[in-house]
Amino acid sequence: MNVFTKAAELLAFTGELRNKGMCIGFVPTMGALHKGHLSLVRESVLQSDFTICSIFVNPTQFNDPKDLKEYPRTLETDIVLLENEGCDMLFLPEVEEIYPRGMGYHLNFDAGYLENILEGEFRPGHFKGVAQVVYRLLELVQADRVFMGEKDFQQLAVVEKLIRDTGLEVVLVRCETVREPDGLAMSSRNLRLDTKARKEAGAIYDTLIKCREWVNEYTVEEIRDLALKKLSQGGLKPEYFELVDPVTLSILTPGRVEGPVVACVAAYAGSVRLIDNMRIG
């Protein structure tokens, strides 16, 4: 597996791949890789001629400096895992390679109402940082397909809008959330959970599964109240729980649930903030 650290070198190399007519698959990550990330790499290997993975802990998408400082970093292990999965290239840039004009430069992109609900409401500026780094990486990698997991459901909606609005010629491939045996969505943040918090975190999946029963019995507001109560009883500190339209992500209005719906949740297990979602209707 080749490792590139310079943006100019990567851009020149991927340009050569495109000139040869090769299909480039891309998996953007922040490292601390787990089975969820590796499932994206495997899917890219299956669907592409050449697979590139990036590891870059993007400072512009963290609205909490402590969260950025504590984000897990396991580079040596990550490299071995990527090689074992058949990844062809790793892009490992420093901040100045991603933001040559400085982190104060902002991409001219508006995520609209997605910036003001769910993750957007509780992590101000987060999606501006996500859009900024994804656009820059796609610009350099020149990928035909980018593979991302549905655990970050709202992020996928932002990236899809980014692709449409900027005219990037890339297809976003959605991949299913990979879970631990007890249902907890795999996340790099899980590495920060102590024994007690790890046990409590299982209440997120339990609540989402329970919602599949509630959706046929209760109203939107009743389901929200039941979910928040169950999360709290499980030892978690819920930040939000909402039922949203699976396409627009608009939050459902009070009343009976009709048609497909996705339950989205964010909660703290100890000091670690976790998110998850599930199609329940």
Catalytic residues: 37
Cβ 146 vs Cβ 41: under 8 Å: no
Residue listed under structure tokens 């840039």:
93
| Beta carbons within 8 Å of 3's beta carbon, 6+ residues apart | 79, 89, 90, 91, 92
From residue 153, how far is each of 36, 117, 159, 235 by CA, in Å? 14, 13, 10, 24
What length is written for the chain? 281
Cβ 25 vs Cβ 51: under 8 Å: yes
Give the separation between CA 42 and CA 44, rounded to whole angstroms: 5
